[in-house]
């Protein structure tokens, strides 16, 4: 039951101090100091981990004032819309995984964006040539904007499992948007990466290029338009967005992108209509379930591919013994299991309303065993590897040539929360790539997503059914992988990450590090990463390329290239946020120590 009234008022200010010790990341140049980031916090009473100290503090204050994990998750997410607007916000969507301590059950909300009703299978094809339009032209357009699901996710989660109203949960973020936040070097760098396309859209320029300039680290950036949008939503609820004046502004921005005077970029119009927003609904559904080394893993079912792909890879790895005593073999098996699972993901996973997705067979231990027989102690599989058929028993051991993986934007953000009663949330939300479509809704203070570019623009393999082509009302396939793990029926770990398709490998490698290689959760997060996604070369971070395991892996046939930058030009893979219930009853919140300038982990009562 929901409790009416205001539980809290939060002033997340520039003097905010992290909840637990540890060296802060480097601060911006002279000016207002950016709040300290602490990657690990241990204590009791509840925990929050996100990529930003402002948003983490918002969630912690909710917990300290009597809110539960769901209330804190929504407050944290709303604050991320202020402080991490290029990765998340009400112009996007996401996946919400919730563990209910009273019932011991895990439930999920699919808040993925949907295609407008007039979208067709050939909508990303050039009418003159019949070939896919250039990817950048699709991203920077109204054509890429899916019907947002984030606000509906928050409303559904609060009504189902929360204790406060939507308006109350939006309170901290509203104050942040009013008062402003300190610009970090990371935010400035992300803005610089998007400067050309941001300058093409008038309201985006006004929002994120104050005075026509890149925001300077140490200055204060305010967003009064978003504060007013949050106030309207607090007053009128989601109807203002899906059936009211905010929705009308979204439809206009998609259909007639608000170009800046003198802009030379061409932003194609999109298809979205008011009826698309009015008809949107989230999907409350059962999670995926798999087991690994006696641990139960609960994740997102399709339209996300996270639950099936991570689960299948772990089912493959369960046929082998991985240990820190032979890290080369452990990493070899991890890379090959990921290669195989991605081959199957590309063939089988899409929106289950539009194609038959064999979720159960993909997660069957027998199929994992079938596919595991492809991995030998020496030698690598040739990519792109052909998919197996989970519907045909004992068919997985036949190698072959498959299709290359399609592009997926690398941005997104993740948060985890837990409360004093043992409820847990793992929530990944996004507007797709950093900066989304670059279209800010005039006078509303938020960017619109480019999620529809997650569709395949054309069939990947001629003559083979493609589950991820565009269609009216369809959800594009996602790699978002929020997970909650139970051990002996009790919460153990919650985790997730941004990073497009590398989300899956980031979560998978972190689990291998923690469960098989015996690392602590903070060490498992900090460890150098490599991401194999059914391609000839494995993307890897510089620290992985400099590791002693590299030479041994190359002798086995593994080939590596430096990973591209996600949020800045720095080569990084993922930005994981997590928490763990420790054996002594304490909570450990853990965030990235360095990637994306470091995340922020806090607990209600530090130990």
d(CA 410, CA 316): 26
Cβ-in-10-Å burial (0-12, 13-18, 19+) of 461 comes to middle
Give the SS3 label for residue 159.
helix
61, 8 in Cβ contact below 8 A?
Answer: yes
d(CA 502, CA 496): 11
Q: Which residues make Cβ contacts (< 8 Å) with residue 583, sequence separation at least 6?
A: none
Neighbours of 22 (CB within 10 A): 16
Q: What length is written for the chain? A: 607
Neighbours of 201 (CB within 10 A): 27
**DSSP code of 400?**
-
363 φ/ψ sector (left φ>0, alpha ψ -120 to 50, else beta):
alpha
483, 426 in Cβ contact below 8 A?
Answer: yes
Give the SS3 label for residue 230.
helix
**Catalytic residue chosen out of the listed positions 163, 308, 412, 430:** 412
310, 299 in Cβ contact below 8 A?
Answer: yes
Give the SS3 label for residue 434.
coil
Comparing C-alpha atoms, which of 280, 310, 590 is closest to residue 449? Answer: 280
Neighbours of 555 (CB within 10 A): 11
Q: What are phi and psi of 179, to 5 degrees?
A: -75, -30
Q: What are phi and psi of 54, to 5 degrees?
A: -60, -45
Comparing C-alpha atoms, which of 76, 112, 123 is closest to residue 479? Answer: 112
* Helix H or strand E segment including 39: none
The tokens of 272 are what? 């979205």
**DSSP code of 478?**
B
607, 41 in Cβ contact below 8 A?
Answer: no
d(CA 456, CA 160): 34
The tokens of 356 are what? 């038959």
- Cα 48 vs. chain centroid, distance in angstroms? 16
203, 446 in Cβ contact below 8 A?
Answer: no
Comparing C-alpha atoms, which of 210, 202, 153, 150 is closest to residue 180? Answer: 210
348, 361 in Cβ contact below 8 A?
Answer: no
d(CA 209, CA 205): 5
Structure-token match 């960017």, residue found: 447
Q: Is 412 a catalytic residue?
A: yes
What is the DSSP secondary-structure string of 337-389? HHHHHHHHHHHH-S-TTTS---HHHHT-HHHHHHHHTT--SS----SSBPP--
* Helix H or strand E segment including 545: helix 542-545
- Residues classed as catalytic: 412
């Amino acid at each position: 039951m929901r409790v009416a009234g205001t539980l809290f008022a939060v002033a997340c200010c520039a003097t905010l101090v992290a909840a637990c010790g540890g060296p802060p990341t480097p601060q911006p140049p002279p000016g207002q100091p950016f709040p300290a980031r602490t990657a690990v916090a241990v204590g009791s009473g509840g925990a929050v981990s996100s990529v930003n100290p402002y948003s983490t503090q918002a969630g912690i204050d909710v917990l300290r004032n009597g809110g539960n994990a769901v209330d804190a998750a929504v407050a944290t997410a709303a604050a991320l819309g202020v402080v991490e607007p290029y990765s998340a916000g009400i112009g996007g969507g996401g996946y919400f995984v919730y563990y209910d301590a009273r019932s011991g059950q895990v439930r999920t909300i699919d808040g993925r964006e949907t295609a407008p009703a007039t979208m067709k299978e050939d909508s990303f094809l050039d009418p003159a040539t019949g070939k896919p339009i250039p990817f950048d032209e699709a991203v920077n357009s109204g054509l890429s904007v899916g019907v947002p699901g984030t606000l509906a996710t928050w409303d559904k989660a609060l009504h189902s499992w929360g204790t406060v109203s939507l308006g109350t949960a939006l309170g901290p973020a509203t104050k942040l948007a009013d008062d402003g936040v300190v610009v970090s070097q990371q935010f400035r760098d992300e803005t610089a990466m998007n400067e050309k396309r941001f300058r093409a859209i008038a309201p985006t320029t006004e929002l994120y290029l104050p005075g026509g300039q890149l925001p300077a680290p140490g200055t204060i950036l305010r967003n009064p338009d978003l504060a007013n949008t949050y106030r309207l939503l607090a007053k009128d609820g989601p109807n203002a967005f899906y059936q009211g004046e905010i929705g009308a502004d979204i439809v206009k921005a998609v259909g007639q992108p608000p170009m800046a005077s003198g802009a030379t970029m061409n932003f194609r119009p999109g298809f979205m209509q008011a009826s698309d927003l009015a008809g949107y609904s989230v999907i409350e559904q059962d999670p995926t379930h798999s087991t690994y080394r006696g641990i139960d893993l609960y994740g997102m079912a399709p339209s996300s591919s996270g639950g099936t792909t991570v689960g299948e890879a772990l089912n493959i790895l369960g046929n082998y013994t991985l240990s820190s005593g032979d890290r080369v073999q452990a990493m070899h098996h991890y890379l090959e299991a990921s290669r195989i699972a991605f081959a199957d993901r590309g063939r089988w996973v899409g929106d289950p309303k539009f194609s038959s997705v064999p979720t159960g067979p993909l997660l069957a231990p027998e199929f994992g065993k079938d596919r595991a027989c492809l991995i030998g102690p020496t030698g690598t599989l040739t990519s792109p590897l052909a998919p197996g058929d989970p519907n045909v028993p004992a068919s997985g051991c036949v190698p072959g040539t498959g299709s290359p993986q399609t592009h997926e934007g690398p941005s997104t953000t993740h948060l985890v929360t837990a409360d004093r009663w043992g409820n847990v949330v793992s929530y990944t939300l996004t507007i797709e790539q950093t900066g989304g479509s670059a279209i800010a809704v005039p006078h509303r203070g938020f960017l619109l997503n480019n999620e529809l570019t997650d569709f395949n623009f054309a069939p990947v393999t001629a003559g083979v059914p493609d589950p991820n082509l565009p269609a009216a009302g369809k959800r594009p396939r996602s790699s978002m992988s929020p997970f909650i793990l139970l051990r002996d029926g009790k919460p153990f770990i919650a985790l997730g990450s941004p990073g497009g398709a590398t989300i899956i490998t980031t979560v998978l490698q972190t689990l291998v590090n923690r469960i098989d290689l015996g690392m602590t959760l903070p060490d498992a997060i900090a460890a150098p990463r490599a991401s194999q996604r059914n391609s000839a070369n494995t993307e890897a971070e510089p620290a992985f390329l400099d590791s002693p395991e590299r030479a041994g892996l190359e002798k086995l046939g593994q080939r590596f290239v430096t990973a591209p930058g996600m949020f800045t030009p720095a080569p990084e893979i993922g930005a994981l946020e997590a928490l763990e219930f420790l054996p002594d009853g304490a909570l450990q919140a853990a965030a990235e120590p360095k990637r994306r300038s470091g995340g922020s982990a806090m607990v209600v009562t530090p130990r």
